[in-house]
Structure 1
Amino acid sequence: MVAEARLTSAMLVGALRRRVSAAGGFATILVRGDEISGVILVQALEKGQDCGLFERVPNLDGGYALMRCGPAPEDGQEALAHYVARRRRADPDLWIIELDIPEAERFAAETIC
């Protein structure tokens, strides 16, 4: 059996930041996680308006997908802050990257999944 090479979390986040910036958007790392295998959360914004939080999760095909997680945008920033704090307590290796670009979810899916 041959082991499949995988990109590290740091490489994926870096590629996503560069791709969003090249397309005229804004990407910033809010929380830096484990360089090798930290879980990646993407906070999607468009013109500063929250569009949701997405998590990179393994799928049944052996690849990855983005899944909506956390509170809905209409629940407000306080609900989001509580969710993020709880996740960080449970998983200190977690990455959180904020993307402010139209179709942020698509950019993330195309780059890190």
Structure 2
Amino acid sequence: MSTPRLPAALEVSSMIRLAEAAGGFAMVLRKGEPDSGTILVVILDNQGLGQVFERLPQADGTRRWSLSKRQDPDIKQEFEAFLTRRMAQDPDLWVIELTIADGERFILHGV
């Protein structure tokens, strides 16, 4: 059974405020469709390496956050190419970046 979805702009704003309130930094790299746009969350660690998470549909109709891409420190341009491709594929896509310790908690646990 699918659950109602928050507007993408509201969800993005909430993630940014939570990250900043916890002492981190957050910014929108790309604005997407305000109501139903897909959201990619780039989480940077203290070395500047990123991971990309996105909410994917599950067999039971729910949507769950999943790791889509992890930056390889030896091939950093591959990570940027992944983001560029995803932005080109989906004009409604939001991309936000969180720079904070344990940033996954803001998406995986709904903090």
| Superposed pair shares fold, TM > 0.5 | yes
CA RMSD of aligned residues (A): 2.1
Distance 2:11 2:54 in 1: 13
Q: TM-score, normalised by structure 1?
A: 0.83
Is the contact made by 1:9 and 1:36 (CA closer than 8 Å) also made in structure 2? yes
Q: Residue 71 of structure 1: CA displacement?
A: 4.9
Relative distance call for 1:96 and 1:48 in structure 2 (3 A) is farther
> Is the 2:20–2:26 Cα contact (8 Å) retained in structure 1?
yes
Q: Report SS of the residue matched to 1:88.
A: helix
Q: Which residue of 2 aligns with 1:64?
A: 63
* Alignment coverage as a number of residue pairs: 110
Percent of matched pairs sharing the same residue: 36
Is the contact made by 2:3 and 2:62 (CA closer than 8 Å) also made in structure 1?
no
For structure 1, the residue ranges without an aligned partner over 5 or more in a row are none
Query: So what's the TM-score if we normalise by structure 2?
Result: 0.84
Q: Which residue number corresponds to residue 12 of structure 1?
A: 11
Q: Which residue identity lines up with residue 95 of structure 2 in the other structure?
A: I
Q: How far 1:14 moved relative to its partner?
A: 0.5
1:29 aligned partner? 28
Matched, 1:80 2:82: no
Q: Note the residue ranges of structure 2 that are not aligned, 5 or more in a row.
A: none
User: 1:73 & 1:43 partners in 2: Cα distance?
Assistant: 14
